[in-house]
């Protein structure tokens, strides 16, 4: 028997004989990767929301200072 192939020579025969182990591992990996990506996108969104707030504050303060000088 060749490595990675089942009794009938098909690569899918190995997956079919695993009784759902590969499927369970794939689902767990999918959930872990999805949670990681969701966390990364949420962090990125919060970071840029903070930067936008700081920018708005400094634009308003600059406008006030320029208004007082003229």
3 is a domain residue: no
Q: Does 52 fall in a domain?
A: yes
Cα–Cα distance for residue pair 36/12, rounded to 1 Å: 30
- Residue 1 in any domain: the answer is no
pLDDT of the residue at 37:
97
In a domain, 6, yes or no: no
CA 55 vs CA 1, 25, 51: distances in Å: 65, 45, 6
Its sign, for the CA torsion 13, 18, 23, 26, is negative
Domain membership of residue 2 (yes or no) is no
State the residue range of the domain holding 34.
11-69
pLDDT tops 50 at residue 1: no
In a domain, 18, yes or no: yes
At 67, the pLDDT band (50, 70, 90 cuts) reads confident
Query: Among residues 22, 20, 2, which one has the least CA distance to residue 11?
Result: 2
Count of structural domains within the chain: 1
| Contact predicate 45/52, CB 8 Å | no
pTM reported for the whole predicted model = 0.56
| pLDDT value of residue 60 | 93
Tell me 8's DSSP state: T
């Amino acid at each position: 028997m060749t490595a990675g192939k089942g009794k009938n020579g098909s690569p899918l025969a190995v997956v079919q004989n695993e009784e759902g182990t590969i499927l369970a591992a794939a689902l767990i990996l999918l959930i872990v990767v999805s949670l990681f990506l969701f966390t990364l996108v949420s962090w990125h969104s919060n970071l840029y929301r903070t930067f936008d707030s700081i920018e708005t504050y400094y634009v308003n303060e600059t406008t006030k200072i320029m208004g007082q000088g003229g």
